[in-house]
């Protein structure tokens, strides 16, 4: 999903709001202007005043309302909000002097209070709209993911290959057959149960990833996977089956080389997580293009999960690397 043209884009959203307010006020004042004031003067003056007021409202909502009021830090909110609007009243007085307009102190204070209430009210309307947009996207995405996961779970090729491998094991080493059946059952069970949840523990996701890799190593003698996990994964949560797409791509493309090599590094420091995976591949294969749809789906899932993220992919010669950086991960309540 292209986030440049969605409601989630803060700059697009505020630019459209500013344009709407400018159009509204310009239309109202254009027919009520004095004959002395030209259209150009009206535009310049209106742009200046609106930009001045909008900037104070924007930064008040961004640096005071969002981090303090929404997190129930009421004392800090009232203190900083009072200081902020006191600064606005003082700045507005200087602007009025520059424009040769005289206003009483009472009018200036009243105007500041009015703008603060209107600006905060607009922000809460935005929060309500944004939550509804995210909620709708989550419902749609959950349905799509559930269907996709069901297709994966019931994929006849996947099950056929698994059964063929189990049959081969039962002939060569029948003692290993029960363990392999349990291993396959665990993979399918986790896929079914995790798709019913919005978030799973990071530790559970890592365990599933390890089992998935182990199963593929059991199927192939030419697969080498180096795994390095650093951090305490017991409390943090992520969307289910988040890493498996990158793991699947790495295993699939590296297997085409005849000697598959995959390196996975996952580190968690505080609420910040960095997951990187690198694999060898055929030199003529355009992996970035081949995985485009899957990566877009992964980005979309992160978008609706409201987890801050950054993803980068690179392909050099016979190596492909994907890095996923997540921060401000949610945690379980102890």
The DSSP secondary structure of 286-325, one letter per residue, reads -HHHHTHHHHHHHHHHHHHHT-EEEEEEEEETTEEEEEEE
Q: Are strands 272-280 and 260-269 parallel, antiparallel or unpaired?
A: antiparallel
Phi then psi dihedrals of residue 189, to 5 deg: -65, -45
Q: What is the pLDDT of residue 150?
A: 46
Phi then psi dihedrals of residue 91, to 5 deg: -70, -40
In a domain, 160, yes or no: no
Domain boundary among the residues 133, 154, 179 is at 133
**Spans of the chain below 50 pLDDT:** 1-2, 147, 150-151, 153-155
CB 14 within 8 A of CB 58: yes
Q: What is the pLDDT of residue 145?
A: 61
Which H/E stretch holds residue 45? helix 39-60
Coil/strand/helix, residue 155 = coil
C-alpha span between 252 and 25 (Å, rounded): 59
Phi then psi dihedrals of residue 195, to 5 deg: -70, -10
- CB within 8 Å of 237: residues ≥ 6 apart: 199, 200, 201, 202, 329, 330, 331, 332
In a domain, 49, yes or no: yes
Q: What is the pLDDT of residue 124?
A: 85
Q: What is the pLDDT of residue 33?
A: 63
In a domain, 192, yes or no: no
Whether 129 and 239 map to the same domain: the answer is no
In a domain, 199, yes or no: no
Q: What is the pLDDT of residue 155?
A: 47
| Count: domains in the chain | 2
Q: What is the pLDDT of residue 97?
A: 78
C-alpha span between 127 and 326 (Å, rounded): 23
In a domain, 273, yes or no: yes
In a domain, 210, yes or no: no
Domain boundary among the residues 74, 107, 133 is at 133
C-alpha span between 57 and 311 (Å, rounded): 32
- CB within 8 Å of 102: residues ≥ 6 apart: 96
First to last CA, the chain: 35
Arithmetic mean of pLDDT over the chain: 81
C-alpha span between 304 and 297 (Å, rounded): 11
C-alpha span between 116 and 110 (Å, rounded): 10
CB 166 within 8 A of CB 177: yes
Q: Are strands 260-269 and 223-230 parallel, antiparallel or unpaired?
A: parallel
Range of the structural domain that residue 124 is part of: 3-133
Q: Is 317 left (phi over 0), alpha (psi -120 to 50) or beta?
A: left
The partner residues of 116 in beta bridges, in order of sequence, read none
Q: What is the pLDDT of residue 108?
A: 79
C-alpha span between 218 and 38 (Å, rounded): 80
CATH number (domain holding residue 225): 3.30.565.10
C-alpha span between 294 and 252 (Å, rounded): 13
Whether 8 and 127 map to the same domain: the answer is yes
Domain boundary among the residues 133, 152, 174 is at 133
Tell me the pLDDT tens digit for each residue of 124-176: 887 887 777 777 766 666 666 654 554 454 445 556 666 777 777 788 778 87
In a domain, 244, yes or no: yes
C-alpha span between 11 and 57 (Å, rounded): 14
In a domain, 207, yes or no: no
Whether 23 and 126 map to the same domain: the answer is yes
Q: What is the pLDDT of residue 207?
A: 94
Q: What is the pLDDT of residue 4?
A: 57
Count of Cβ atoms closer than 10 Å to residue 128 Cβ: 10
Phi then psi dihedrals of residue 285, to 5 deg: -90, 125
pTM here? 0.57
Burial call 138-151: b when 16+ CB within 10 Å, e when fewer: beebbeebeeebee
């Amino acid at each position: 999903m292209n986030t440049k043209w969605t409601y989630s884009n803060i700059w697009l959203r505020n630019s459209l709001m500013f344009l709407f307010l400018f159009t509204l006020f310009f239309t109202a004042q254009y027919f009520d202007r004095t004959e002395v004031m030209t259209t150009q003067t009206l535009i310049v003056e209106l742009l200046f005043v609106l930009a001045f007021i909008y900037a104070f409202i924007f930064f008040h909502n961004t640096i005071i309302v969002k981090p303090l009021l929404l997190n129930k830090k009421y004392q800090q909110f009232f203190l900083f909000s009072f200081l902020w609007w006191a600064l606005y009243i003082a700045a507005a007085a200087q602007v009025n002097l520059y424009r040769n307009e005289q206003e009483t102190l009472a009018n200036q204070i009243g105007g500041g209070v009015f703008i603060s209430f209107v600006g905060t009210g607009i922000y809460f309307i935005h929060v309500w709209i944004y939550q509804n947009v995210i909620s709708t996207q989550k419902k749609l995405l959950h349905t799509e993911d559930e269907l996709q996961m069901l297709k994966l779970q019931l994929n006849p090729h996947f099950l056929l290959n698994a059964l063929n491998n189990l049959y081969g094991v039962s002939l060569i080493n029948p003692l290993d057959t029960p363990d392999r059946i349990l291993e396959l059952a665990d993979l399918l069970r986790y896929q079914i149960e995790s798709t019913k949840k919005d978030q799973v523990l990071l530790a559970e996701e890592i365990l599933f990833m390890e089992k998935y890799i182990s199963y593929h190593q059991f199927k192939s003698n030419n697969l080498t996977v180096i795994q390095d996990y650093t951090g305490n994964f017991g409390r943090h949560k992520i969307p289910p089956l988040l890493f498996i797409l990158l793991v699947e791509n790495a295993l699939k493309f590296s297997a085409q080389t005849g000697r598959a090599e995959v390196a996975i590094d996952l580190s968690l420091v505080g609420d910040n997580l960095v997951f990187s995976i690198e694999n060898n591949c055929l030199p003529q294969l355009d992996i970035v293009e081949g995985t485009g749809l899957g990566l877009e789906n992964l980005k979309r899932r992160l978008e609706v999960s409201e987890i801050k993220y950054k993803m980068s992919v690179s392909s050099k010669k016979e190596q492909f690397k994907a890095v996923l950086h997540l921060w401000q991960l949610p945690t379980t309540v102890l």
